[in-house]
Structure formats: C-alpha cells, structure tokens
Amino acid sequence: MAGEPQTDCLFCRIVAGEIPATVVRESATTLAFRDINPQAPTHVLVIPKAHHPDAASLAAAEPEVAADVLREAGLVAADEEIAGTGYRIVLNTGAGAGQTVFHAHAHVLGGRGMQWPPG
C-alpha cells in the first residue's frame, strides 16, 4: 500500500537502517544521503521516508511531503555550497526516463557545469 514500507524496496531498507547510507540531512518526513554512484561532485538523493513509487505519486498522495522533499533539496544545496553556482534537481519518472529505484527520490546534482538538454 502507498506510504507503507516495502520489504523489497532498496530505499525503504535504507530508511529502516537495514542498508547503510551516508546520510547528510534528516527531517521528520525525509532522508537525504549521498548517491552510491555520483554523477557530479555533489550528488545527493532526497527521499520521503514513506514509500511512494515516484515523485508525482508522492505529490498526489502527500503534497506536504513532496514540498518537504523540495525544501530539503534546497537545504542540501546550501549545505553543500552549490546554491550560489547553481544545481539541478532531477526527478526521473519511469524506466524510459532512467528511473531504476521505484521509491520517489530527488537527485540534487551540482559542483560542475550542467548541459542542456539533458541526455
């Protein structure tokens, strides 16, 4: 059920402490940790603690938590000192767009120049 922990979900297991992660921020509703395969000098994932399959599903079910994720993404950028130079928040949605973990997450990427359009 949406919002409930999923035993087979990697990010639910990180929230539960069953899989280690380098946590950089935590709030009542969110967790932010470094991506295991960073694509930029700063690459942090911000996730809702509750399980939702993607960002749009999260926003539909718990809009206040979707707002928490975006606020925490901005706070990560400030903590990492990339807010001034600019950073990217990415919400891959669906396998065709590169989503591989089906627990909503925002990538916060910065510390290098970014290209447009994205690949």
- Least CB distance from residue 93 to ligand 5GP, whole Å? 9
Please say if 105 is a catalytic residue: yes
Give all strands (DSSP E) within the chain, no chain letters.
23-26, 30-34, 42-48, 87-90, 106-110
Among 100, 113, 115, 116, binds ligand 5GP (CB under 6 A): 100
Q: Is 51 in the site for Zn ion (CB under 5 A)?
A: yes
51 touches which of Zn ion, ligand 5GP, none (CB within 5 to 8 A by kind)?
A: Zn ion
Q: Strands across the sheet with 30-34, in order? A: 23-26, 30-34, 42-48, 106-110, 87-90
Structure tokens at 19: 């899989």
Distance (Å, whole) CA 36 – CA 55: 20
Q: Is 56 in the site for Zn ion (CB under 5 A)?
A: no
Q: Is 6 in the site for ligand 5GP (CB under 6 A)?
A: no
Contact residues toward Zn ion (CB under 5 A) are 6, 9, 11-12, 51, 103
